[in-house]
Amino acid sequence: MKRLTCVLLLFVFQVYAQNEDEKQIRAIFDAALTQGKAYDWLNYLSNQIGGRLSGSIQAQQAVDYTKAQLDSLNLDRVWLQPVMVPKWVRGTPEFAYFETSPGNSINVPICALGGSVATPPGGLKAQVVEVKGIEELEQLGREQLEGKIVFYNRPMDPKLISTFEAYSGCVDQRYSGAAEAAKYGAIGVIVRSMNLNLDDYPHTGSMGYGDTPVAERIPAAAISTLGANLLSTTLKLNSDTRFYFKQSCKQFDDVQSYNVIGEIKGTQYPNEIMVVGGHLDSWDLGDGSHDDGAGCVQSMDVLRLLKLTGYKPKRTLRVVLFMNEENGLRGGNEYAAVAKKNKEEHIFALESDSGGFTPRGFSFDCSAENLTKVQGWKKLFEPYLLHLFDKGYSGADIGPLKNDKIVLAGLEPDSQRYFVHHHAENDTFEHVNRRELELGAASMASLIYLVDTYGF
């Protein structure tokens, strides 16, 4: 009889707890969809400040603006965490064409890759050699590549439903393509944009030279997908086609910037810290609305929504707007280094850096035991059409916090349109849907609530 009573009490408690969780999550979604602030904050970041490349005036304006907004939320603490970041400047707009014979040329859209060196002041013109990937360079050898421009033309795989998997399958040519081509005497690199769409927007992104001596570094640019297809077709008809491009980008000394941090102190376990965040910097071609203005304003609204619904976290909750994810990850590394130095105990970190599209769920980097616990919350999210609760990648900025105990997570929005805008001129505010953005913020706040309530 005593055992039966205990079982009944446990069942009653579980039903009560689930009802309370349902009510709190419903309150969060209601508040986000009727009183959300993320879209308004994003409007200002995008349209009043614009692209926020690390080390730029716009990046500093974004720091000042988001700190002021966090100050207005009456959090327990708001502060700036200094971090030294790289300063790379694009310079005058890039220009390119290919020439099939003297006087017969076709202009194509390009943009310098972030971190690239400039071409000579008069530009660079040479014969083009098309390859599908870095592995082909060795087959061709110095004899066929020396003095040439290497054209990397491996597309994202359209058969992959996960667009991030498709991106991972060819981004090595963007990041390492110039360093590898220089080993064989190439004098420049053109890379097909990481984009599943066929359009005329070139997509920039980070590249690196590794240990290539400064004097041997060659300029690298991205070409639009339509431009890449046209160039590829032309090369098949005329292998003597020559490519010209001119860019004036420059790397300066590092400058000081900041991570922007706001905090609600935990009422029961203040030494256990939960982080929610995105990266405040963006590339300079568009205004960085999806990448990653959306993640920043969603993360800011998580704290506001919890306060608005009257919820008081048991554990300390921090929003961190990381600086310099795009071309250095300095903000994420600095935050983790300071946390380690201060011996802070982080139990959970959630990042939004996949665009402001309709949320589908979350991916988790954690132990099997903790993943099972998280997956036990799936039913609470079913009314909001969130269904992905899988083991996987979390986020670049929270990655440096990884240890044996912490649970890392990433918001998983629908990704099919993300790479249409990623790092391109059309990553702009009008391509963000207010309701989708707000649903993402509510999803994140709900997950934070559950982690805070039940811990790991």
Task: Cite the active site residues.
Answer: 325
Q: Where are the beta strands (DSSP E) in 132-248?
A: 149-152, 188-192, 220-223, 242-246
Amino acid at 183: K
> Using the 8-state DSSP alphabet, how is residue 395 labeled?
-
Looking at the chain, the number of H-run helices and the number of E-run strands are 13, 16
Closest CA to 440 of 66, 21, 63, 36: 36
Spatial distance between the Cα atoms of 299 and 295, rounded to a whole number of angstroms: 6
Contact predicate 411/351, CB 8 Å: yes
Side-chain half-sphere of 215: how many Cα atoms within 13 Å?
A: 0
Residue by residue, DSSP assigns 305-370 as HHHHTT---SEEEEEEEES-TTTT-HHHHHHHHHHHHTT-EEEEEEE--S-SS-EEEEEEES-HHH
CA distances from 285 to 89, 160, 203 (A): 12, 27, 9
Contact predicate 196/163, CB 8 Å: yes
Spatial distance between the Cα atoms of 352 and 364, rounded to a whole number of angstroms: 12
Output the CA torsion sign for 391, 154, 396, 306: negative
Tokens 């207010």, located at residue: 434
Question: SS3 for 62?
Answer: helix
Residue by residue, DSSP assigns 83-103 as EEEEEEE--SPPEEEEEEETT
Q: Return all residues near 9 (Cβ < 8 A) that are at least 6 apart.
A: none
Contact predicate 349/316, CB 8 Å: no
Spatial distance between the Cα atoms of 259 and 305, rounded to a whole number of angstroms: 22
Question: SS3 for 28?
Answer: helix
- 288 backbone φψ class: left, alpha, beta (φ>0; ψ -120 to 50): left
